[in-house]
Chain A
């Protein structure tokens, strides 16, 4: 077969033919030797490369890769600390924990190929009821950190837990862990005050990560849960677990650090009074409906200790159940709180109307006008002014709330019967003050804590508004098409403000603080709702207070005690004399209550109505007992009509619970 077995061809240069019996000799030619040498060099080079690379990886960077390998297999687990309970001033538990189970997703341990991963996530979504979209969105948010688990859901049902346990092998990277769920024994009571707990948002995490928060933490989202999150949250523990490449645990969990439970937060709220206040709101709205103020649909009541500013009750209506934020969340139930459109239709149950909504104060503002006028020597307590159906000034007619009067009255009577024309006159006198006197009415209102946040320890809070000529100039700039007429402070504004109307806005808590000042002799208290943080006593041991927030000292406002006493007397007459605007409500109450009604016109846009319409906001603010006040109550019923119609009876309910006595309503015309 080989060619050289046949005739060997004669080769040039040779004179003899090759011998057919001998084989052509094979010699290692220089050319082949050269090529073999090249192969040898290639081999040396190849092995040199391998050795160098091996040296670089194992010896030079060995420690680094060792760390990577250890990170691969060791999972640091979070042992969730139970959140501290919230208790009321008498130790009743308002918020506590129940143990639950949470589902965690460890992205690093999910199947590596996409279809399998997708299949698993879909199955997980089917079991937990959390939409796949949401799980993927969460994973995307934490894409840079595959070793921190994502909490898919807290508060699994027993059947879900069992399913996931039994089918664990189908769910690599999914782990069940102990968790705690908030529980609200008093259901909706004080919902807006307590707030709720939710997963930390990416924005919050960005600002809070310096303080040791983790991207999967729960955090107080509103109310005192948010304000006192640092005390309530406790400190999570840590444990380690070795897992294989498919996320399956190998060996037991090694604890590294135990958790520290959150501390208990004691509030100044008395849950009994809180319940009374919330019932009183419903009652007040019902009263308004009965008096054909059919659009009454919300309100707030604040009860305050006038001496130290402790909030005894803070009610807001409509309200919601904080438990809807716990565990399995129902989007339909959450919509009134999270979806603006639904919230509007349901009249914003999430808003704490005691601090986060501002209304014109109406006649409840008159004590400020009275005090400021006396302080500025624009009127003396015994100087009489005309109380008439109408007040004419600057070619404008300002109406009194009633036509059935025409007499000269002094300051106390003016407060008692809430005569508008008396205060119109004071308003005009404020307007006529020379410019170098400034704006004393607004100045005193500010000094009494209006137009600025009260810095109460529960949020969010609005500052309200005490309009001044300067404010008006800024609020109506020419750049937005406002004319000089809009920017000018007109006499009518001062006259309106004297009776708490116009653009003035206050919150119920600000008004409660104002009446606390009247009750306590002129000192401005700082309202607060948290009393202390403590370790709850277990096994019969008493609770140990860790930190007392308590009351900050009340600030003197420089108001003249004599002037104040005339206002106090006026308020007492308002609830007791025959001409008093809420005498029909408080006149027969066994405890001496002093207080002021308010009926403030506010232009509101009601759901279902195309155009804004003027509605009367029903106010009542006051305190008792008159000679030694221990409680201030301020009630507001939105669109509830005259103060005596709905707000005053609602406030009476709070006093009834507080003093343990019942009052009697009699029909009475009121402002």
Chain B
């Protein structure tokens, strides 16, 4: 496109921005949140005041944050990306230090109204920083080794910190979100091939070293892997939760057992049923129809985001939206795979559905940035 073409477009401003919000995305997000509220009401045994009302408050607050972020020009977000990353990194170090000096292992900072998990913040901050990096970087240099190494360092730094908390699930999400931005930015696929091969080699090394003098993981970590691979091997121990989750999920059948009729939910056989394992209750009570509906809603959210990214007219917008979309995707994919027994239990909540403040607010803020990218895309001037 030529400069001339560009000049005839303008970015919406003022109250007109409201009209340019992506309403499909908002409806989809609110639909998923609605699922969450119903499920939290159900897992509390039909009581609204246990989790559901607090969740509603958070959805409301998150919604306000989303709209507010959407109103802020996308280039502002690009400009504060470095700052956000820096703050998140400092906070990560702070909780690490607080844990080390005897306050116990903590992953969050108490801000009074909300307990903020720096690792949640980092997921978005890292995506923003990398998007800004590739926005700044000349496209010609994207695949040069030095310019590839730099973002890798930016990714590994927070990943290592979160891994040390230890929070394997979030660390994987941060890593994958960062890698996704690099992939989207056009880094040569050979790098990813090498990384994949290296990862596979590392995994085999972990397994092959088991039982030898130089084994890479602790015994209990190997046992966790065993339990993941075959939950029935330890039905009363660690495998119990996985087995019970799968029983709940499977027993839902096509149409589900009805709201609050899921015996696995009602009789407390499910672990963490309002947080990480909430999908099992949904699947038990709403069946295949309900579970696939949620899956489709999630997939549509990701699709809408990718469409926004592809329509973007600047690299930062496109990359930050892709990064957020991938992060969101990884959230629900890992959570669902975990409760279905396709992935190890790593402690990832179901986005927008699980009970919890930090994740909800950070996700809403991230969608606010997506909306901002959408709103602040230059548009053809309306014909007079």
The finding on whether chains A and B are genuine partners in a shared complex, rather than unrelated, reads no
